Structure 1
Amino acid sequence: MNKKRLTWVDVTKGFLMILVVIGHYPGQLDFPLVKYIYWFHMPAFFILSGLFFKPVVEKSLMKISIQKRFMQLIVPYLFFLVSITLIRYGIEIGSGNKDLSWYVNDMWTLVVGGRFVRGAYGVFWFVTTLFFTYLFFLWMTKNFNRTKQLIILAVFYSIAHFESLFAMHVIGGSPSEAAQTIPMIWNIDVALMAVVYFSLGYYLKSFWMNVSHKWLIAGVLVSISAVLLDNYNVIDYHLSMKFLRYDHFVLDLIIPLSFTVVLVGIFQLIAAKSSLNWLQKIEKHSLTIMYLHIFTDILLNDYFTYGVIGFTAFGLFVPIVVSIIIQKFLPHGKLLLGGFSQKKASSNRAVT
């Protein structure tokens, strides 16, 4: 991938990260913006992640590939999990909470993770799901041909929808409550749905690398039509990957794909004429922003009054500052933020 192509990917991911922050705004908005953000922002991340997937054929390289992804995803996950928890427990102890059972129950919830952790950990499910999505797709591409891969994906997609149907309509209640009645560590079951989006990024790589004007227009028309149909109550579409809410077997592909086509197409056009450095910088610190934007609001909302703009500004600025501090002042700071390179690791072993 050349530099221009990498630029539009970074810019698109930076914009999506802004949408992630806005999507967690706890207040009420006049326009159902959050609902529409959830239609596509998480699927888009999985699609763009699939763009960079490289199959591993040799058995000897499988362990190396998994280790790399573990260091890039799970090490930062554990770092932020422990860091936020220590601060939370410090606040709890300072406020007089000495109930040992509360801490034991809280720790157990953190171990299970996924949809069972809320509040400051509201986005942690994405990283563990992405890790297992990568493992699923790595296994598929190594052991099966393209036809069998598509069959497996169809089975995964169907199982995911059956699970959603069971949670939303048999168990019932709010999506978060219904989903939490189905036990699963680290939201591994969500990877059944995520791997389908991930595969679309990989299989359609040539399409995504240069979205034509024709497809961009088609994506705009489908996206606008979906919003209008929803606004006039012709459809009532929702998508929440975290809480297993997949509302429609067909629309769960069409709507996220159409919005992603629009975003990618637009930012490819813009990136060809402008660098949009500010979005690239947001993407550069996206991991820290993802982990800390909700926690930032939890720490600050007692001292500041702000709407969605203030929430978004704090949710971006504070984590970026923290990210810079971690990288510059903490030992192995870049590694803690996912900056692991197999080449660097190999060269370090060679030196020692």
Structure 2
Amino acid sequence: MTTNKRLQYFDLAKGIGILLVIIGHLQGNDIFSLSPYILPFCTWIFSFHMPLFFLISGMLMKYRNDQEISLSNLIKKRFISIMIPYFCFSMIYLSVVFYALLIQKSIMPETLYVNLWYVFSTYGMSVLWFLPTLFFAEIIFLFLLKKLNRKVLAITIVTITATISVVNYLISQLTFSSPIMERIHELSIAVMRPFLALIFIYIGYLVFSYFKESEKVIGKEIIIGIVLLIIGIVFFRVNGGVDFRSLVQKNLFFYYLCSVSTSLGLILICKNCHVTLKLLTFCGKNSLIIMAVHNNSTILFYAMKFSMFVNQYLTHARGYICYFIIFAILLLYSILITLLINHFFPFIIGKKKKTAKVS
């Protein structure tokens, strides 16, 4: 397997992942009314879509041989590529809040204060929570990887996961009845997220060592991938809806088995996909930007208005066509903003020049 091919299937998996993120965030009564299958599909997506990115992160660490790079250099690189975009996009999000407060006068000052807290506590505004979680999880993992031998590393990460999961469960049983207590609860979630993401990064790091290099389709891997997807679906049905952002995991065994199985199944299938899928690859390469910009309520509003306009001329599969129209508009918007940022404002994603292009 060539270097480009290996990187391509990572991009392909991330591309599928980010499209699922967009679909998963298309929620609300108006959306769910289009089809009875949308809600369970979105719930299924939430069972694995963030762990998928953590697993790929661990695989990329192994692929890049990050263990041989000094921790200080890794921290610097990760800060530029992850935290600079976090703060830049947070400032953009905050500008919308300022506009609503000062120009539209549609929100109270307290809303601004809470969102400032979200940014600087790394709890994160909206979808941006993922970036500091990934940053700190990667740094913690790399630190442990450099300091501990293989056996101790495994024991340490499993112990951390079990301990933080218990703490998270105990905290979830508490009642936070005041704004101050709510902020403390949010801070505890922000602190726990990276530690709970550790095990996904670790699994990705380990599993990548067993991936066989081949230019041909490996039938056994496709079969394993399909079986893993089925296992993931079965345990999703048992465990029900979860949400990594809020650390709602329910049954831990079912949660981790579902998220890891589904993610690895998807990655294995992508690994054996030798067809060039330009749109998915582009979305995978630019998943960070798409993650940050897709959740635009104004674009969603007009997308729904347009879909309802089209709906009056449809006779079959009206709900599904309307849903696809909404999704397509959000995706098109996200791609256009991605191209704009890459070409004119690359500093937002920690780069000095345009690197992404559609080819």
Query: If the length of structure 2 is used for normalisation, what is the TM-score?
Result: 0.79
- Deviation, 1:209, is 5.4
Structure 2, unpaired ranges of 5+: 308-321, 354-359
Answer yes or no: is the 8 Å Cα contact 2:47–2:236 preserved in 1.
no
Mean Cα displacement is larger for which, 92-101 or 71-80?
Answer: 92-101
How many angstroms apart in 1 are the aligned matches of 2:235 and 2:156?
32
Preserved contact between residue 293 and residue 314 of structure 1 (Cα < 8 Å): no
Does the 8 Å CA contact 1:68/1:340 hold for their aligned counterparts?
no
Partner of 2:18: 17
> Offset at 1:139?
0.9
Structure 2 equivalent of residue 227 of structure 1: 233
Indicate whether 1:93 and 2:102 are aligned. yes
* Greater mean alpha carbon deviation, residues 128-137 or residues 186-195: 186-195
- Does the alignment pair 1:261 with 2:264? yes
How many residue pairs were aligned?
320
Structure 1 209/77 Cα, relative in aligned 2: closer, same or farther at 3 Å? farther
Give 2:227's aligned amino acid. Answer: L
The question of 1:67 aligning with 2:76 is answered yes
Residue 215 of structure 1: CA displacement? Answer: 5.0
- Judge conservation of contact 2:133–2:190 (CA < 8 Å) in 1: yes
Matched, 1:142 2:157: no
Check if 1:50 corresponds to 2:62.
Answer: no
| 2:243–2:249 CA contact under 8 A, matched in 1 | yes
1:196-275 residue pairs with structure 2 within 5 A? Answer: 196-208=199-211, 213-224=219-230, 227=233, 235-270=238-273, 272=274, 274-275=275-276
Shift of 1:45: 0.7
SS of 2:252's equivalent in the other structure is coil
Secondary structure in 1 matching 2:276: coil
Q: Deviations over 1:322-351 (max 9, x none)?
A: 22222222xxx323224379xxxxxxxxxx
For the Cα contact (< 8 Å) 1:159–1:192, is it kept in 2?
no
In structure 2, the residue corresponding to 1:52 is in which secondary structure?
A: helix
Asked whether the equivalents of residues 239 and 255 of structure 2 are also in contact (C-alpha less than 8 Å), the reply is: no
Distance (Å, rounded) in 2 between the aligned partners of 1:286 and 1:82: 19
Matching residue of 2:169 = 165
Structure 1 range deviating more: 42-51 or 213-222: 213-222
Q: SS of 1:243's equivalent?
A: coil
Aligned to 1:2: 3
247-256 or 101-110, which deviates more: 101-110
Per the alignment, residue 313 of structure 2 pairs with none
- What are the residue-to-residue correspondences of 1:299-314 with 2, within 5 Å? 299-301=299-301, 304-305=304-305, 306=307, 307-314=322-329
1:226 positional shift: 5.1
Deviation at 1:100, TM superposition (A): 4.1
Judge conservation of contact 2:235–2:254 (CA < 8 Å) in 1. no
**CA-CA distance at 1:129 after TM superposition:** 0.4
Range that drifts further, 246-255 or 71-80: 246-255
User: Match for residue 347 of structure 1?
Assistant: none
Letter in 2 for 1:4: K
Alpha-carbon distance change, 179 to 203 in structure 1, aligned in 2, over 3 angstroms:
farther
> Cα gap change, 1:92/1:314 in structure 2, threshold over 3 Å: closer, same or farther?
farther
% identical equivalent positions:
22
5+ unaligned residues in a row in structure 1: which ranges? Answer: 342-352
Between 1:260-269 and 1:95-104, the stretch displaced more is: 95-104
In structure 2, distance between residues paired with 1:207 and 1:172: 45
Q: What's the secondary structure of 1:25's corresponding residue?
A: coil
Distance change >3 Å, CA 154–CA 314, structure 1 → 2? same
Offset of residue 97 of structure 1: 4.7
Residues 289 and 320 in structure 1, CA contact (< 8 A), matched pair in contact too:
yes
Worse-matched range after superposition: 35-44 or 48-57: 48-57
Structure 2 partner of 1:334: 346
Task: Assess, with a 3 A threshold, how the Cα gap between structure 1 residues 95 and 13 changes in structure 2: closer, same or farther.
Answer: same
1:60-117 CA-partner distances (Å, limit 9, x unpaired): x322211110000000111111012113322332223585444334323332242xx5
Q: Which residue of 1 aligns with 2:333?
A: 318
Change (3 A) 1:191 1:302: same
Specify the SS of the correspondent of 1:18. Answer: helix
Letter in 2 for 1:9: F
Instruction: Read off the aligned partner of 2:230 and give its amino acid letter.
Output: I
Structure-1 separation of matches of 2:262 and 2:49 = 9
Once the two structures are superposed, what CA deviation does each residue of 1:285-333 show, in whole Å capped at 9, x if it has no partner?
22221001112x345405742453233223221122122222222xxx3
Give the aligned partner of residue 349 of structure 1.
Answer: none
The structural deviation recorded for 1:198 is 0.4
Distance apart, 1:43 and its partner CA: 0.8
Change (3 A) 1:186 1:172: closer
Hey, what's the Cα distance between the residues in 1 that align with 2:186 and 2:271?
Answer: 41
